[in-house]
Chain A
Amino acid sequence: MHGFANPARFLRIARWLMPLLLISGVVLAAGSLAWGLFFAPAEGLQGETVRILYVHVPSAWLGMGGWTAIAVASLVELVWRHPLAGIGARAIAVPGAVFTALCLVTGSLWGRPAWGTWWVWDGRLTSMLVLLFLYFGYAALAQAASGEGQGNSRVPAVFGLVGAVNIPIIHYSVLWWNSLHQPPSISVGKSAMALDFLVPLLIATLGFSLIFGGVVLARMRAILADIQAEARLRRKAGGLA
């Protein structure tokens, strides 16, 4: 693992991996969205509104997956002091927040025709909103810590680990508590969703995930470039003094 600790090596890989992820992600996402919006069937009870699914579910997956990745990176940062872990976690915060917000917005737009309400304070919706606020908190902490040198990256790392408690709560909220949101349709190995919906949904999820990965790599490159530029400026200032 420490082979990738070397930022120069990471940058060499990221340089070709990032456009690869972005391009393949955009192709898959666009194709599956066109499939879902124009060719997939309408749902028996919900009709055409079911098509929000193809944006809503990948967004929810990335919102939750993003924080899971922040938690893993935080653990690596705290225990192994891996130099890229904190940078990776910082890079995930904003795209993670964007997809969580997208999940909440599309869910609200879907809730009006399906349930008859824009918003309810049930377990699932509330815990997802909490995730969005956790992302805001993380982004603010990481921003503050980045200005103060290496030692303080531990504060956002601790926050990233603590916040991970919310992820299983989001997942199990619909099973533990009565809620307006329905239980999960897809679990490992089985699906209560007809293949006509499931196949474009899985491709859309893959496509959005590849885009997410590409954006995270781009942000990591930008953060590394920032750190390098700052170090160079500092050296120059030191040389002058």
Chain B
Amino acid sequence: MTTQTAGIKAKHQRLVLVVIALVALIGAALLAIWGLRSQASYFYVPSDIVAARPDPDRGVRLGGMVEKGSLKTEPDGVTIAFVVHDGKARVPVRFKGIVPSLFVEGSGVVAEGKLAANGTFIADNLLAKHDEKYVPREMKEMTEAQAKQVVAETQ
């Protein structure tokens, strides 16, 4: 009987100790994450760049959406210009080179490069950022109303 109560007591004590250790551990992790909140981001959004302009010779990454209708190819055929926005601010970008196949207007992009003194972002590399939506190819080419109809028919 006594050994059994002692066993339950020891178990209880271990449980309390583990819970205290876990609370301390989670607290430490939250502090570290809080401290990292700006450094751990992979890119700046246009509002960050507009709010605090990075040095013209400091390499930074700029991420956001490619503004619809802003993508233009320059006469040399390999240089492109477009605008990256995040709903609040816009940054014009120039890039010379081959773009990833998912790079399209209205989709996400991460540009690596430097912000020139005139406010244009000169990119030396582009990465395409896919969103979390997955849509079948056949549905993508339809209009919204057509897609709804197809869904209604197949259900």
Contacts and interface: CB of A to CB of B under 8 A. Distances in A.
A116 B127 contact: yes
The interface residues of chain B, by DSSP majority, are classed as mixed
B100 A43 contact: no
Contacts of B25: 161-162, 165
A7 interface: no
Interface in A146-190: 161-162, 165, 169, 173, 176-180, 182-185
Contact of B63 (A43, A79, A178): A178
Given A116-B100, A120-B42, A180 B136 contact: no
A116 B132 contact: no
How big is the A interface, by class?
35 or more
Interface stretch (B49-57, B71-79, B114-122, B137-145): B137-145
B42 A165 contact: no
B102 A45 contact: yes
A165 to B, nearest CB: 5
Contact of B136 (A44, A123, A169): A44
A75 B18 contact: yes
A179 B42 contact: yes
Contacts of A41: 136-138
With a 10 A CB-CB cut-off, give which of A123, A183, A184, A194 has the most chain B CB atoms.
A194
Nearest to A78: B18
Given A120-B127, A162-B25, A194 B42 contact: no
A45 B140 contact: yes
Given A180-B127, A180-B129, A192-B131, 9 more contacts: A44-B139, A45-B102, A169-B29, A176-B33, A178-B44, A182-B132, A185-B134, A193-B133, A194-B136
Interface of B: 11, 14-15, 18, 21-22, 25-26, 29, 33, 36-37, 40-45, 63, 99-104, 107, 110, 125-141
